[in-house]
């Protein structure tokens, strides 16, 4: 039976929704992934169309070290491409995107923690081009094709694992470590991001067998947003250039225990001020906004991240919440020039 696990945590009176994706045995792997990351939609970007004789390029296999099932991502030099769309590169990734539940998408002002485990083969081979194994990307806006952050394996005379950042104009290396440290071992990644123009970014990569830190980096003033973005989301898997195929080999990369956890929701896309918050809070019937204006999208989420209210393209200064059950909710408003989020309690 495929399971979706939602864990609710309380910290400093803020409700935190955590969503996890773990392998649970062979078969229906794509269905499991989709059921968690975008129920009813397709988040798997695999090269199956170009290499149908191989079958599905993500499977679930037993791992003796972790003593559990894990996801195995396959990529083949001679057969695979990027979804039969681009042929100078190969892609086998999973993602969240605009059809995913709202609590799986980073919005302006939010802090989100991503966790996962991965293992590169002991003989893993990276080219001097790029091989991404993780990306943070915007959707919407003019720069959605450029990763905000990417975890890249890079070959050459000194092979390394790089953490790269792009402000949409320039890409720079934030941190790196010798690639040999990551080959043949299970690694646990913890990545914490505050999505903002002056945002925050931190990542720690630990060797699971002895808990030793292989890479650690943090920056408390870094651009972690994109112009006119609708949101920012994660991707995991294998995405690599084919411009130097002689430097590559067929690869199998293992992943396990993906987790997405919202730590906080900002009150505003600008610096949130109490006077901007909806009122009254707690509320019984009608939630009043600071002013009546046009909103392209109004959404209310419950504590599990489930959408319980939605309106589009409306001008209003109040929201009827009388039909909601008692509890804590998140209100998200998308306007012409700002996105606003706020937590409220329904009595």
List the pLDDT tens digit at each of the 347 positions of the chain: 344 443 333 333 344 568 999 999 999 999 999 999 999 999 999 999 999 999 999 999 999 999 999 999 999 999 999 999 999 999 999 999 989 988 899 988 889 999 999 999 999 999 999 999 999 999 888 999 999 999 999 999 999 999 999 988 889 999 999 999 999 999 999 999 999 989 999 999 999 999 999 999 999 999 999 988 889 999 999 999 999 999 999 999 999 999 999 886 543 333 333 445 788 889 999 999 878 888 888 888 887 667 889 888 888 889 999 999 998 888 888 776 666 777 888 98
Q: Which domains does the chain have, with CATH numbers?
A: 18-263 (2.60.120.200), 286-346 (2.60.40.3080)
Does pTM surpass 0.85?
no
- CB 226, CB 141: distance < 8 Å: yes
pLDDT at residue 281, as a whole number: 87
Distance set, CA 327 to CA 8, 53, 293, 343 (Å): 13, 51, 27, 11
Beta carbons within 8 Å of 109's beta carbon, 6+ residues apart:
194, 195, 196, 265, 266, 267, 268, 269, 272, 339, 341
């Amino acid at each position: 039976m495929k399971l979706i696990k939602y864990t609710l945590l309380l910290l400093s009176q803020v409700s935190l929704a955590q969503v996890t994706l773990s392998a649970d045995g062979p078969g229906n792997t794509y269905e499991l992934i989709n059921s968690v990351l975008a129920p009813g939609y397709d988040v798997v970007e695999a090269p199956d169309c170009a290499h149908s004789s191989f079958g599905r390029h993500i499977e679930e296999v037993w791992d003796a070290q972790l003593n559990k099932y894990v996801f195995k991502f396959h990529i083949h030099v001679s057969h695979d491409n990027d979804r039969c769309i681009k042929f100078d590169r190969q892609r086998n990734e999973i993602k969240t995107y605009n059809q995913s539940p709202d609590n799986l998408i980073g919005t302006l002002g939010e802090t989100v923690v991503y966790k996962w485990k991965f293992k590169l083969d002991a003989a893993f081979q990276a080219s001097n081009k790029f091989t991404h194994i993780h990306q943070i990307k915007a959707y919407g806006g003019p720069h959605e094709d450029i990763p905000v952050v990417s975890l890249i394996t890079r070959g050459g005379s000194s092979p390394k694992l790089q953490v790269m950042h792009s402000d949409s104009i320039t890409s720079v290396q934030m941190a790196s470590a010798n690639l040999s440290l990551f080959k043949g071992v299970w690694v646990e990644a913890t990545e914490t991001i505050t999505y903002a123009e002056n945002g925050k970014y931190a990542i720690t990569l630990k060797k699971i067998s002895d808990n030793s830190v292989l890479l650690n980096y943090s920056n408390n003033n870094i651009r972690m947003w994109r112009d006119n973005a609708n949101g920012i989301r994660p991707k995991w898997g294998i995405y690599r250039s084919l411009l130097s195929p002689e430097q590559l080999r067929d690869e199998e990369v293992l992943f396990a225990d993906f987790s997405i956890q919202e730590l906080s929701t900002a009150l505003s896309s600008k610096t949130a001020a109490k006077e901007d918050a909806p009122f009254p809070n707690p509320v019984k019937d009608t939630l009043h906004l600071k002013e009546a204006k046009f909103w392209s999208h109004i959404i209310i989420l419950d504590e599990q991240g489930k959408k319980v209210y939605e309106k589009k393209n409306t001008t209003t200064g109040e929201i009827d919440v009388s039909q909601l059950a008692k509890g804590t909710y998140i209100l998200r408003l998308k306007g012409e020039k700002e996105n606003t989020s706020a937590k409220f309690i329904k009595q």
